[in-house]
Chains A and B, each alone.
Chain A
Amino acid sequence: MEEIKHKPIEIFCGTGGVGKTTLATSRALYLATKGLNVLLITIDPSHRLKQILNMQEEESGVIVKIPITRFPSMPGFLESASPQTFDALLLSPRATLQRMNQEGTEAGAVPFDNPILEILTRPNGGMSEIMGIIEVQYQLTQQKYDVVVLDTPPGKHFIDFLEGSAKIQRFFDKTFVDIFRYVGKSFEKIEVSTAKKMMNLLVSSGIKQLLKYLEKVTGTGFVETFIDAVVTLYRNRNSFLEALSFQETLKKPAQSNWFLVTAADQAKSEEAFGLQKTAVVFMHQDNYLVINKCLSDDLKNWDPAQAASQLLRDFLMHKESELVEAGQQQFSHILRFPEILADSPEAHVSALAQIWSTK
């Protein structure tokens, strides 16, 4: 396999259970051994990365240094001691929003104590995809790393992540920004002509109707807390809007590598290619299909006598060749990684990292 040129952002996506997180980690390890500054981020709320890297859930939102010495050496790989590390981050929506708030807004930092935002930014509060875009764009803007390797949520939730930019853009539409500036201030400070214009906007945008609805169906005080939460978000809107440029970065072949991961031993090909078809509007054409857990090299010389064994061999080889054939039509490159059965997640990652180094 030819060495793949690293890019500022490398995205690993795919369906569940195919080895996406392990492969992303191996890529980060491999690039770190080449002396590059690497950040590995997971935005999948299941945080499988913590198991591979022996991180704790409490470390979410904090960049942790992972020494390369944690990974066992393989013949021809990592055989001499290396001082390198790579950084790893388990996304925490709360930590991302707090950082945005602390870095100040146009009005200066405001206390982050809104109960709605506190609940929404919990680990399973549902804001991972939106905050994931903001965090990744922030890390790219810092220009601290040569490569940011991104481990994404499985399946459809990866598409939710990709669509996050459009959602941010809709939410922070200039009309809504003006309205929430208005509702965030006391009425005495608003000029009559401005107030009239805002009332018209309130009605046409649906905000007035929404607030009336919320008054009817929620407890007392909720509407005020809701407005306060939205105003807080709007005060931080520059950070949200900066994340829009992330989508443009993804489309540039010079800026990003896309790795769609599937597994040779599972019936996931339809789902994998379906994911690619949906994501194609966000991707560029220079992309990789990664077929993990390949067995054909081990099976091709196997000539069993038993019919059931023949069936197993034919099935496994057929699944793999079907993936390769379909992949050749839709992807620029195909990468194959063999099935690796290791004693530990670290050993598994090391073995995969060695394969990235193969020329």
Chain B
Amino acid sequence: MALCLYLKSQGRKVYYNGFDQRPDEELLKNLGIEFLPFIVNESAEIYVGNKLGSRTLGKWVMRAPFFKALFQMMPGLASMILLGHLIQSADDAPDASIVIDSPSTGHARVLFESTQNYEEMFGSGLIVDDIKRMQCFLSGSNHLRTIICALPSELPLEEGKELLDYMKRSKYQDVGFILNDSLQEFIKAENIALESIPQTLQLKVESEMNLLRAFGVDIDLILPKITDTDRESLIHKLSSKMGLLAYGRN
């Protein structure tokens, strides 16, 4: 949401999408962020309808008991269709940005691998042609920026690193890495002396420093802990720091 606000402040048309989770619509409205309310079943109806040349037929297929049951058994398929719908929207509005709040790591992998899996599964035909168009769009320059966000502790960093390695192997090159909620960054920004804070917090700061030293990955942005209990205010504060993320390493 902070990235959406930043892009909007730069004069860009921007949309937020929570992928397979319903976003806080009131919060988005209060922040003045437009969102794409795609629901996976509707996306699938539209897609199947397009292929069959009839939206009515698409609805009928999607609502038929067996197809509905099958669709629910294969969440990777639903994710891929939703991704396809988002890509279509991005392609239709080249001057806009869609910021997708993606699922967490394991399920993000399911999403990214879904196009390869279903291409392999279907083999050939109209669906595979569409999948290849999706892959072409995603790997095209200036189409996709992926931002991996991790908390400053060992397991999240390790998970983030694995995801980063996977993205690079899959030839998604424009991938940024940010560390969120850093106590060390807060202490530094507020000029608080390390020895003036309780020992547990000192150890937490030192642990963060040691982890980052050992991490071995360039971190594009370290966001400090923000002591704001109001979400809107917190998002506004974060948005002012989003410049580096919006334009990447180059």
Contacts and interface: CB of A to CB of B under 8 A. Distances in A.
A12 B196 CA distance: 36
Contacts of A116: 121
Contacts of A173: 65, 69
Interface string B196-234: 111111011001000000000000000001010101001
B123 interface: yes
Interface residues of A, number: 71
Contacts of A167: 69, 72-73
Nearest to A18: B151
A156 B51 contact: no
A104 to B, nearest CB: 23
A155 B102 CA distance: 12
A160 B70 CA distance: 15
Secondary structure at the A interface, as helix, strand, loop or mixed, is helix
A107 interface: no
B104 interface: yes
A217 B123 CA distance: 11
Contacts of A219: 122-125, 128
Contact of B105 (A21, A46, A302, A308): A46
Interface residues of B, number: 68
Nearest to A298: B200
B143 interface: no
Interface string A1-36: 000000000000000110001100000000000000
A207 B229 CA distance: 52
A202 B105 CA distance: 39
B64 A308 contact: no
Contacts of B176: none
Nearest to B21: A156
Contacts of B156: 17
B197 A309 contact: yes
Given A48-B159, A155-B21, A213 B125 contact: no
Interface of A: 16-17, 21-22, 44-48, 51-52, 115-116, 119-120, 122, 124-130, 153-157, 160, 167-168, 170-171, 173, 175-176, 179, 205-207, 209-210, 213, 216-222, 265-267, 295, 298-299, 302, 304, 306, 308-309, 311-312, 314-315, 318-319, 338-339, 341, 345
Given A206-B66, A216-B126, A299-B198, 13 more contacts: A52-B155, A115-B121, A119-B120, A125-B117, A176-B69, A206-B63, A209-B64, A210-B61, A308-B191, A312-B192, A312-B197, A312-B227, A338-B200
Q: 9 nearest interchain CB pairs?
A: A206-B64, A126-B76, A219-B124, A45-B106, A46-B106, A308-B190, A315-B227, A219-B123, A170-B69
24 contacts: A45-B109, A46-B106, A51-B154, A51-B155, A115-B120, A120-B76, A120-B117, A126-B77, A126-B110, A127-B74, A155-B21, A157-B104, A167-B69, A170-B65, A171-B70, A171-B73, A176-B65, A176-B69, A205-B65, A205-B66, A213-B61, A216-B52, A218-B125, A309-B190
